[in-house]
Structure 1
Amino acid sequence: MDIYVNGIKFEDEALKCLSEERTEGLQATARMTVDPDEKSFIYLLDDGEGAGRVHFGEKTWRMLRDHHGSEIILNTDVILTDFWDQLDHLVDTIEGNSYGEAFERAVKETFKQ
Protein backbone atom coordinates (compact mmCIF):
# COMPACT_ATOMS: atom_id res chain seq x y z
CA MET A 1 0.00 0.00 0.00
CA ASP A 2 1.38 3.37 -1.00
CA ILE A 3 0.58 6.38 1.17
CA TYR A 4 1.49 9.79 -0.20
CA VAL A 5 2.03 12.73 2.13
CA ASN A 6 0.23 15.58 0.41
CA GLY A 7 0.48 18.13 3.20
CA ILE A 8 2.47 18.87 6.33
CA LYS A 9 1.80 21.38 9.06
CA PHE A 10 3.85 22.19 12.13
CA GLU A 11 1.56 22.29 15.14
CA ASP A 12 2.02 21.56 18.86
CA GLU A 13 5.76 20.93 18.38
CA ALA A 14 5.03 18.14 15.86
CA LEU A 15 5.00 17.74 12.11
CA LYS A 16 1.54 16.55 11.23
CA CYS A 17 1.61 14.75 7.91
CA LEU A 18 -1.62 14.46 5.97
CA SER A 19 -2.59 11.82 3.47
CA GLU A 20 -5.84 10.87 1.78
CA GLU A 21 -5.12 7.17 2.33
CA ARG A 22 -6.36 5.41 5.46
CA THR A 23 -3.75 4.66 8.12
CA GLU A 24 -5.76 3.05 10.92
CA GLY A 25 -4.12 -0.13 12.22
CA LEU A 26 -0.74 0.58 10.66
CA GLN A 27 2.35 0.36 12.85
CA ALA A 28 5.68 2.16 12.49
CA THR A 29 8.68 -0.02 11.64
CA ALA A 30 11.48 2.51 12.23
CA ARG A 31 12.82 1.77 8.73
CA MET A 32 13.20 3.98 5.68
CA THR A 33 14.34 3.65 2.11
CA VAL A 34 14.25 5.83 -1.01
CA ASP A 35 12.61 5.88 -4.41
CA PRO A 36 15.04 7.90 -6.51
CA ASP A 37 12.81 7.80 -9.59
CA GLU A 38 9.99 9.50 -7.67
CA LYS A 39 12.41 11.62 -5.59
CA SER A 40 10.88 10.28 -2.38
CA PHE A 41 12.02 9.16 1.00
CA ILE A 42 9.85 6.24 2.06
CA TYR A 43 8.98 5.30 5.63
CA LEU A 44 7.84 1.68 5.98
CA LEU A 45 4.74 0.69 7.95
CA ASP A 46 3.35 -2.72 8.90
CA ASP A 47 -0.28 -3.78 9.00
CA GLY A 48 0.38 -7.33 10.24
CA GLU A 49 -0.06 -8.79 6.78
CA GLY A 50 2.09 -6.59 4.58
CA ALA A 51 3.98 -3.38 4.26
CA GLY A 52 2.80 0.15 3.74
CA ARG A 53 5.05 2.80 2.23
CA VAL A 54 4.73 6.43 3.28
CA HIS A 55 6.14 8.62 0.50
CA PHE A 56 7.73 11.94 1.43
CA GLY A 57 8.15 13.55 -1.99
CA GLU A 58 10.44 16.43 -2.76
CA LYS A 59 7.70 18.99 -2.04
CA THR A 60 7.77 17.94 1.64
CA TRP A 61 11.52 18.10 2.15
CA ARG A 62 11.83 21.75 3.18
CA MET A 63 9.32 21.27 6.00
CA LEU A 64 11.26 18.22 7.13
CA ARG A 65 14.52 20.17 7.05
CA ASP A 66 13.06 23.22 8.80
CA HIS A 67 11.51 21.20 11.63
CA HIS A 68 14.17 18.53 12.01
CA GLY A 69 13.81 16.61 15.27
CA SER A 70 10.08 17.20 15.73
CA GLU A 71 7.74 14.33 16.32
CA ILE A 72 6.29 13.04 13.02
CA ILE A 73 2.61 12.06 13.05
CA LEU A 74 0.77 10.62 10.07
CA ASN A 75 -2.99 11.33 9.85
CA THR A 76 -3.24 11.86 13.63
CA ASP A 77 -2.87 8.14 14.41
CA VAL A 78 0.60 6.85 13.43
CA ILE A 79 3.77 8.18 15.06
CA LEU A 80 6.74 7.54 12.80
CA THR A 81 9.36 6.34 15.28
CA ASP A 82 13.08 6.77 14.59
CA PHE A 83 12.20 8.87 11.56
CA TRP A 84 15.06 11.33 12.04
CA ASP A 85 17.77 8.72 12.60
CA GLN A 86 16.67 6.92 9.45
CA LEU A 87 16.39 10.10 7.36
CA ASP A 88 19.75 11.43 8.58
CA HIS A 89 21.43 8.16 7.69
CA LEU A 90 19.98 8.20 4.17
CA VAL A 91 20.96 11.84 3.63
CA ASP A 92 24.49 11.29 5.01
CA THR A 93 25.09 8.28 2.76
CA ILE A 94 23.34 9.56 -0.37
CA GLU A 95 26.60 10.23 -2.18
CA GLY A 96 27.83 7.31 -4.24
CA ASN A 97 24.82 5.06 -3.58
CA SER A 98 23.74 4.75 -7.22
CA TYR A 99 20.46 6.60 -6.65
CA GLY A 100 21.08 8.76 -9.66
CA GLU A 101 22.52 12.20 -10.12
CA ALA A 102 19.19 14.09 -10.09
CA PHE A 103 18.06 12.55 -6.79
CA GLU A 104 21.47 13.04 -5.17
CA ARG A 105 21.60 16.69 -6.28
CA ALA A 106 18.06 17.39 -4.99
CA VAL A 107 18.85 15.84 -1.60
CA LYS A 108 22.09 17.82 -1.26
CA GLU A 109 20.41 21.09 -2.25
CA THR A 110 17.69 20.67 0.35
CA PHE A 111 19.33 18.93 3.30
CA LYS A 112 23.02 19.81 3.12
CA GLN A 113 22.85 23.58 3.18
Structure 2
Amino acid sequence: MRIYVNEIKITDDSILCYTEESIEGLQEAGQMLVDSDNHAFAHILDNGESYTYLIFVQETWSMLHENKGKKIIVNDTLELTEFNNELTYILENIKGNSNYGKEFVSVVEDTFELE
Protein backbone atom coordinates (compact mmCIF):
# COMPACT_ATOMS: atom_id res chain seq x y z
CA MET A 1 0.00 0.00 0.00
CA ARG A 2 1.14 3.52 -0.77
CA ILE A 3 0.11 6.43 1.45
CA TYR A 4 0.94 9.88 0.16
CA VAL A 5 1.90 12.86 2.28
CA ASN A 6 -0.41 15.50 0.81
CA GLU A 7 0.04 18.33 3.32
CA ILE A 8 2.94 19.60 5.42
CA LYS A 9 2.89 22.17 8.19
CA ILE A 10 6.02 23.52 9.84
CA THR A 11 6.34 24.40 13.52
CA ASP A 12 9.35 25.59 15.51
CA ASP A 13 10.57 22.03 16.10
CA SER A 14 8.50 19.76 13.85
CA ILE A 15 7.48 18.92 10.32
CA LEU A 16 3.85 17.87 10.55
CA CYS A 17 2.90 15.58 7.67
CA TYR A 18 -0.68 14.70 6.82
CA THR A 19 -2.22 11.95 4.72
CA GLU A 20 -5.78 11.23 3.63
CA GLU A 21 -5.44 7.57 4.60
CA SER A 22 -5.26 6.36 8.19
CA ILE A 23 -1.90 5.30 9.58
CA GLU A 24 -3.44 3.63 12.63
CA GLY A 25 -1.56 0.49 13.63
CA LEU A 26 1.50 1.39 11.58
CA GLN A 27 4.99 1.79 12.98
CA GLU A 28 8.20 2.96 11.44
CA ALA A 29 10.28 0.14 9.92
CA GLY A 30 13.42 2.29 9.92
CA GLN A 31 14.12 2.12 6.21
CA MET A 32 13.65 4.41 3.23
CA LEU A 33 13.51 3.54 -0.45
CA VAL A 34 13.73 5.62 -3.61
CA ASP A 35 11.20 5.69 -6.42
CA SER A 36 13.39 7.37 -9.02
CA ASP A 37 10.85 6.91 -11.83
CA ASN A 38 8.21 8.93 -9.95
CA HIS A 39 10.65 11.24 -8.14
CA ALA A 40 9.66 10.19 -4.63
CA PHE A 41 11.05 8.88 -1.37
CA ALA A 42 9.20 6.01 0.32
CA HIS A 43 9.58 5.66 4.09
CA ILE A 44 8.57 2.14 5.09
CA LEU A 45 5.90 1.62 7.74
CA ASP A 46 4.99 -1.77 9.21
CA ASN A 47 1.79 -3.12 10.79
CA GLY A 48 3.35 -6.44 11.83
CA GLU A 49 1.99 -8.28 8.80
CA SER A 50 2.85 -6.15 5.81
CA TYR A 51 4.65 -2.99 4.76
CA THR A 52 3.16 0.32 3.73
CA TYR A 53 5.07 3.00 1.87
CA LEU A 54 4.72 6.56 3.12
CA ILE A 55 5.41 8.56 -0.04
CA PHE A 56 7.12 11.95 -0.09
CA VAL A 57 6.77 13.31 -3.63
CA GLN A 58 9.15 15.86 -5.13
CA GLU A 59 6.90 18.78 -4.13
CA THR A 60 7.58 18.00 -0.45
CA TRP A 61 11.36 17.83 -0.71
CA SER A 62 12.18 21.53 -0.35
CA MET A 63 10.21 21.67 2.92
CA LEU A 64 12.10 18.62 4.19
CA HIS A 65 15.41 20.21 3.21
CA GLU A 66 14.65 23.68 4.60
CA ASN A 67 13.57 22.15 7.93
CA LYS A 68 16.20 19.43 8.14
CA GLY A 69 16.69 17.97 11.61
CA LYS A 70 13.20 18.76 12.89
CA LYS A 71 10.95 15.98 14.18
CA ILE A 72 8.76 14.36 11.54
CA ILE A 73 5.24 13.64 12.80
CA VAL A 74 2.55 12.00 10.66
CA ASN A 75 -1.14 12.75 11.24
CA ASP A 76 -0.29 14.18 14.69
CA THR A 77 0.28 10.66 16.08
CA LEU A 78 3.32 8.90 14.59
CA GLU A 79 6.79 10.34 15.08
CA LEU A 80 9.29 9.05 12.53
CA THR A 81 12.40 8.88 14.69
CA GLU A 82 14.56 7.25 11.98
CA PHE A 83 13.44 9.50 9.11
CA ASN A 84 16.24 12.08 9.25
CA ASN A 85 18.97 9.43 9.50
CA GLU A 86 17.44 7.45 6.64
CA LEU A 87 17.04 10.53 4.45
CA THR A 88 20.66 11.56 5.07
CA TYR A 89 21.84 8.05 4.18
CA ILE A 90 19.75 7.97 0.98
CA LEU A 91 20.94 11.43 -0.09
CA GLU A 92 24.58 10.43 0.39
CA ASN A 93 23.92 7.35 -1.73
CA ILE A 94 22.18 9.31 -4.51
CA LYS A 95 24.80 12.06 -4.80
CA GLY A 96 26.61 11.58 -8.10
CA ASN A 97 25.17 8.08 -8.52
CA SER A 98 23.86 7.71 -12.07
CA ASN A 99 22.27 4.37 -11.18
CA TYR A 100 19.25 6.39 -10.04
CA GLY A 101 18.95 8.09 -13.43
CA LYS A 102 20.52 11.39 -14.40
CA GLU A 103 17.34 13.45 -14.16
CA PHE A 104 16.43 12.12 -10.69
CA VAL A 105 19.97 12.64 -9.37
CA SER A 106 20.05 16.17 -10.76
CA VAL A 107 16.74 17.12 -9.14
CA VAL A 108 17.75 15.61 -5.78
CA GLU A 109 21.17 17.30 -5.86
CA ASP A 110 19.59 20.67 -6.68
CA THR A 111 16.76 20.45 -4.14
CA PHE A 112 18.89 19.20 -1.26
CA GLU A 113 21.91 21.32 -2.26
CA LEU A 114 24.26 18.33 -2.43
CA GLU A 115 27.82 19.21 -3.34
TM-score bucket of the superposed structures, by smaller chain: over 0.9
Specify every segment of 5 or more residues in structure 1 that has no aligned partner in the other structure, as ranges.
none
TM-score where L is the length of structure 2: 0.93
Q: Partner of 2:3 in structure 1?
A: 3
Count of equivalent residues: 113
Q: Distance in 2 between matches of 1:29 and 1:48?
A: 10
Q: Distance in 2 between matches of 1:103 and 1:20?
A: 26
Q: Distance in 1 between matches of 2:74 and 2:37?
A: 23
Check if 1:112 corresponds to 2:110.
no
CA 1:97–1:46: 2 relative to 1, 3 Å: farther
Check if 1:62 corresponds to 2:59.
no
Instruction: Tell me how far 1:11 sits from its aligned partner.
Output: 2.1
CA 1:66–1:34: 2 relative to 1, 3 Å: same
Report percent identity of matched pairs.
39
Alignment deviations for residues 51-76 of structure 1 (CA, whole Å, 9 cap, x no partner): 01001010000100011000001111
Letter in 2 for 1:96: N
Specify every segment of 5 or more residues in structure 2 that has no aligned partner in the other structure, as ranges.
none
Instruction: Tell me how far 1:97 sits from its aligned partner.
Output: 5.3
1:77-96 correspondence runs (5 A) = 77-94=77-94, 95-96=96-97
Segments of 4+ moved more than 6 angstroms = none
Letter in 2 for 1:3: I
Letter in 2 for 1:100: G
Q: Partner of 2:45 in structure 1?
A: 45
Task: Output the aligned Cα RMSD.
Answer: 1.2
Letter in 2 for 1:14: S
